[in-house]
């Protein structure tokens, strides 16, 4: 909580005493590390939305800010996009969560399966089908449904 929080960024960060964001942070509220409505988490979620999210699709991290040594570029990660839906829903941001969830569903193939990544023109990239993505889809759906029921939608 102390070393992973960047006062300068007003966000939790990828590694201690750094300022780079990483989509793995999206797991923080779901594993009970922090309340999904804690101001530090909401600030982190907002920073991630500004930096790692493109039209509701989520990049794992910014390779320019945290070079990984890999050649080429990568798409947004389907798993991370569903984790984002879950985090938004838990934070009570149901409109954006529903939008992101519905948008992600459009990237499934004709059988409802997802690849690991979504490319810049919507193509499926990487491992296919991606089991972890489908587990995140189920978690996001259950979380969004629960939060919507609780809010009376």
Check: pTM over 0.75? Answer yes or no.
Answer: yes
**3-class SS at 117?**
strand
pLDDT tops 90 at residue 96: yes
Please state which architecture CATH assigns to domain 5-151.
Alpha/alpha barrel (1.50)
| Model confidence band, residue 103 (pLDDT cutoffs 50, 70, 90) | very high
Report phi then psi at 6, rounded to 5: -100, 110
- For the four alpha carbons of 107, 108, 114 and 115, in that order, the dihedral sign comes to negative
Among 11-15, 19-23, 72-76, 85-89, top mean pLDDT goes to 85-89
Dump pLDDT digits (tens) for 34-73.
Answer: 999 999 999 999 999 999 999 999 999 876 665 555 555 6
Q: Is 53 helix (H, G, I), strand (E, B) or coil?
A: strand
Give the tens place of pLDDT for each residue, 104-151: 999 999 999 999 999 989 999 999 999 999 999 999 999 999 999 998
pLDDT for res 63:
60
Q: What is the pLDDT averaged over residues 27-32? A: 95
Q: 93-124: b or e for each residue (b if 16 or more CB lie within 10 Å)?
A: bbebbbebbeebeebbeeeeebbbbbeeeeeb
Q: What pLDDT is stored for residue 152 in this prediction?
A: 84
**Helix, strand, or coil here: 10?**
coil
Contacts of 130 (CB under 8 A, 6+ apart): 78, 79, 114, 115, 116
């Amino acid at each position: 909580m102390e070393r992973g929080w960047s006062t300068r960024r007003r966000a939790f960060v990828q590694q201690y005493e750094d300022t780079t964001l990483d989509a793995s942070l999206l797991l923080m509220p779901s594993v009970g590390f922090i309340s999904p409505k804690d101001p530090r988490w909401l600030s982190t979620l907002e920073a991630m939305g500004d930096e790692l999210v493109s039209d509701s699709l989520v990049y794992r991290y910014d390779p320019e800010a945290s070079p990984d040594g890999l050649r080429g570029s990568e798409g947004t990660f389907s798993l991370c996009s569903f984790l984002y839906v879950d985090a938004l829903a838990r934070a009570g941001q149901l409109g954006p969560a529903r939008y992101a969830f519905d948008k992600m569903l459009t990237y499934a193939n004709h059988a409802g399966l997802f690849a690991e990544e979504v490319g810049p023109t919507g193509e499926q990239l990487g491992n296919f089908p991606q089991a972890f993505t489908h587990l995140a889809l189920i978690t996001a759906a259950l979380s969004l449904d629960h939060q919507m029921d609780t809010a009376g939608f």
